[in-house]
Structure 1
Amino acid sequence: MVDWRDDRIRSAAQGNNPLLVAEMQSGYAVMADMQFLPGWCILLPKSRVPSLNSLSIAQRSRFLLDMSIIGDAVNEVCAPVRVNYDILGNTDQYLHAHIYPRYDWEPESRLKLPVWLYDAECWSDPKSAFDSERHGAMMRELREYLLQHMTD
């Protein structure tokens, strides 16, 4: 059996991705694997493309709008001090956008840095991994917000 992690986009499209929050017009809002910043989401495109520049202007506009709507949901549900957005593609070399909240409980020195500079243990600590019992209510609230606020 194929693991959903082997093709996150296809598993989201088929409803097999346990991190799926909601289908959006341009792709799929999913929770990040690690939740050391609770509410961290990722927008996956509906089809695997190498970068934002691989999309038409209309598709880019839709993807970026959907990314910002996920940011609205994170702001509403998680009440961070701000939301950061990243489109990198260095490790997973296909288009996807990270939407992550930043919190006032983070050390001030850490809050000023990109999330990627967090210590390595944050990325592998099982206590930070998405867990439906710990994060399920937040995921449902994010889904509800997105379903109410997606635009045509």
Structure 2
Amino acid sequence: MNFLKLLKPEAVKVIGAASSKKRLMHDLADLAEAAYGISAPAAVEALMERESLGPTGVGQGVALPHARIPELSDVVGVFILLDKPINFESVDRQPVDVVFGLFAPEDAGVEHLKALALVSRTLREASVCAKLRANPDAATLYTILTEGESVAIA
């Protein structure tokens, strides 16, 4: 599993501000629909259902919302950088501004876990998050995310 397989350049976006966690879920779903053709209403429902099991804010301003979508054939990702952090009920109670959403087929199993581990490992790196926060341009963010992985492999 790698970022080049997981993320399209058009699935990366910078948003000035989201008014709430629910609004952010809608933004993630809209981005997934535009980039991958995933039904936005189905994506929002799946994200909110998963979030009801426990918040996906992992700390240090990072959230990794994820959901299973029946019509998908591959695990795919969307990335949003928020100019203004929002309350996400994260484990460390810090607001969130770096958000990577994952959508997986119902039967993804290990592939979903590998993708989640890759994203989590990458966004745990303070240097990667600092670069992301310092470059509010979608094309640059995509490059940072896909480059970061090749550096980790090397």
Greater Cα radius of gyration, structure 1 or 2: 1
- Could you say which structure has the higher strand fraction? 2
The TM-score, its normalising length taken from structure 1, stands at 0.31
